[in-house]
Amino acid sequence: MAKFLSVFSVRNLLVLSLALNVSLVLRVLVSHDSQNGSFNGFFIEKQNGPQEEAHASKGARLSSSVSSSSSSPLTTAQGDQDRVINLDHGDPTMYENYWQKKGDETTIVIPGWQFMSYFSDPRSLCWFLEPEFAKQVVRLHKVVGNAVTENRHIVVGTGSTQIFQAALYALSPRTEAEPISVVSAAPYYSSYPLITDCLKSGLYKWAGDARSFSKNGPYIELVTSPNNPDGFVRHSVVNRSEGILIHDLAYYWPQYTPISSPANYDLMLFTVSKSTGHAGMRIGWALVKDEDVAKRMTKYIELNTIGVSKDSQLRAATILKVISNSCERSDGEGDSFFEFSYHLMAKRWKQLREAVHQSGLFSVPDFPPQFCNFLNRVFEPQPAFAWVKCEGEIEDCESFLRGKKILTRGGKHFGVSPKYVRISMLDRDKNYDTFVERMSMIQS
């Protein structure tokens, strides 16, 4: 003991005691701040992991979880009024709760030695398309009734963006002296101009709003239906004999819009991200009627990425299979993926309309109700994005909402007035609930 005291002087012991007390104080402060979702002024979103979520929801039906959350009043947690809500991107994280509750039903295991080859089926037109993924794509479309798959070739891509690029490459004539014009009716998807012109291709170029397009000769028109950003059902507007159509049907699913009939077009684009919520898989697909077009699309993907990840395709096949199973065996109490998603979107649109009405500074579109053959009910479309207009003297709605710490995407990116903004409806519950409450409190 004497040796110990000789090594540590009184001064050393005082310093050690001070350090221990400071450490204790910091631990208490960090614990307090983390409960409020903030630390040193930076917001940190606290999320429950799958185990905690599963434990909290054990024994609860999916439909009851939606209805109970819709009946509870919105409350802003301490510190949320200073938090930036980013609803610029359509990141579909609202689907996490459903898939957490599915647990091991959607889990796949791939041994390290399997699926090492480039090739999935060398005899197939799209040689990197996994047969199980193709099978589940066809099955899901038949279950939902949203697209014709007979006499169609399936081309898989790394998300709908690559599929879109492959379609432009495949449809562009090789004998023209100048690039073919690519158009879409405004408001059009904001990434169309960027994706079309990013390579400055000699085959095709962006030519703007289809409604004002007057150039003679061949053209490609992009028809997004339901439309991103405004949610309306779309048809082609140029309608000239030399036109080639691409139908982007990423949102033609029953949680967003009534399924009135199977889409039956020459080239139709779909994506896993908006149909199931699995944006991170980066899987999209096209249903292509013309064999030569499908071959050229496949060639583009071959040149671009030498195929598409088999791991992602197999995981996507599992997810699609689970969705089809849930629809076919649904007991009417919310197990069906599309029933769950429909009710969640309906709840969110009701919240937004109430917030807009309470504020008086904004407006959102009204949609005509239609009968949905899949859900067997009449309802108004409830798009994945809200197309919000700032009324009155507010000219730049994006900047105005940024001042309220709400990040959106302004109308100028979609070829229209900056009085409009696109707002994602697909974020997590906490962010979305904070957003609609904040919108309701914005007064003139």
pLDDT (average), residues 72-79: 47
User: Is the model's pTM score more than 0.85?
Assistant: no
> For 323-338, b where at least 16 C-beta lie within 10 A, e where not — what string?
bbbbbeeeeeebbbbb
Condensed to tens digits (0 to 9), the pLDDT of residues 82-111 reads 899 999 999 999 999 999 999 899 999 999
Boundaries of every domain in the chain: 85-100+335-441, 107-328
101 by DSSP, 3-state: which? helix
| CATH match of 85-100+335-441 with 3.40.50.20 | no
- Which residues fall within 8 angstroms of residue 354, CB to CB, at 6 or more apart? 436, 440
Average pLDDT over residues 364-392: 97
The chain-wide mean pLDDT, for the chain, equals 86
Q: What's the CATH number for 107-328?
A: 3.40.640.10
Q: Which of 265, 321, 301 is nearest to 149 (CA)?
A: 265
pLDDT digits (tens, 9 = 90+) for 235-249: 999 999 999 999 999
Helix (H) or strand (E) holding 372: strand 370-372
Number of CB atoms found within 10 A of residue 62's CB:
23
Please state the rounded mean pLDDT for residues 113-120.
Answer: 94
The answer to whether 394 and 417 are in contact (CB under 8 A) is no
pLDDT at 11: 52
* pLDDT over threshold 70, residue 73: no
Summarize the confidence of residues 330-339 as an average pLDDT.
75
CA dihedral sign, ordered 157, 158, 160, 164: negative
Is it the case that residue 155 has pLDDT exceeding 70? yes
Q: What is the pLDDT of residues 38-50, one digit of tens each?
A: 333 323 333 344 3
For residue 287, the SS3 value is strand
What confidence score (pLDDT) does residue 176 get? 85
